[in-house]
A and B are shown apart, each in its own frame.
Chain A
Amino acid sequence: MKPRVLWIEDSARLELRNLAAPVYSSGRFDFNLAENVTSAVNLLKVTSFDAIVVDVRLPPGVDPYWKKLYQNAGADKVNAQLGIKLLHWLINKDHIIHPDDPPNGFSANQLGVFTVENREDIQDELDALGISVFCQKTTGLPDAILIKIFDTIIDHKPM
């Protein structure tokens, strides 16, 4: 069985094709993509994943609760940091974030963060969540960066 992986990314501007296509091309993963928090939660509700890579700046999707969180932060992805909130909800089962129960069976070592933020900016959050896999999105990244991140999470290595 191929490892089932999920990339939660609003890839409006970082070309989706350049980063996701090599994952499909490799044929090594059962690769899934969610481009907002609602879609990600839908996927997480129905199946488990060997590795999940999350962006910090995510749009909420249509779910009213995530939407409210987003609007409370001034409808601004940078301020809302829904990616971090999603992780807190999943790992710490924080019901203040969302009243529903999060899907079970998630641990920090299945998760990685791939975002434009500097590591220093979110290090406290990463420590609180126990996430050790982090990669900053910059323009000169190799095409196979996502494959590398998935491999790192699956092999339980830090990054």
Chain B
Amino acid sequence: MKTNEEAKRKYEEMVKNASPNSPILKNCVIAFFSGGLICTFGQFLLNFYQNNQFSAEDAATLTSVTLIFISSVLTALGIYPKLGKHCGAGTIVPITGFSNSVTSPAIEFKKEGMVLGVGAKMFLVAGPVLVYGILASMLVGVFYYFGGR
């Protein structure tokens, strides 16, 4: 309990110290370039797969899978979290951030076991994303089916 409170205090201090040093404009510029570069790399992969006789849809899926793979490896090596500290939303918003949000807790909670640790905590962030994504897609589907076609 004590260490918990200590950690909390330390964290709050960290936030206080970090906040004035991270002006929003600078953050946005970094997010723009880092996020933009990840998308540019995605475009490179997309073109690469399309030039290798994959259909547009398959090429898009393969691009996502490749980015997810790279991000998962970088997360396992501890590199992606370091990038994330500097790049903010630039590394959170792309699909690589989604992959990081799956891999990171899977590693973090492996001590709690394969089922309730790795299996459950994997979806700590991705779970809500999927829940609301699926619900939104069904909402779209209902409107499309009854009205929009």
> Is B a genuine binding partner of A?
no
Q: Which residues of B contact A (CB under 8 A)?
A: none
Chain A interface residues toward B at CB < 8 A: none
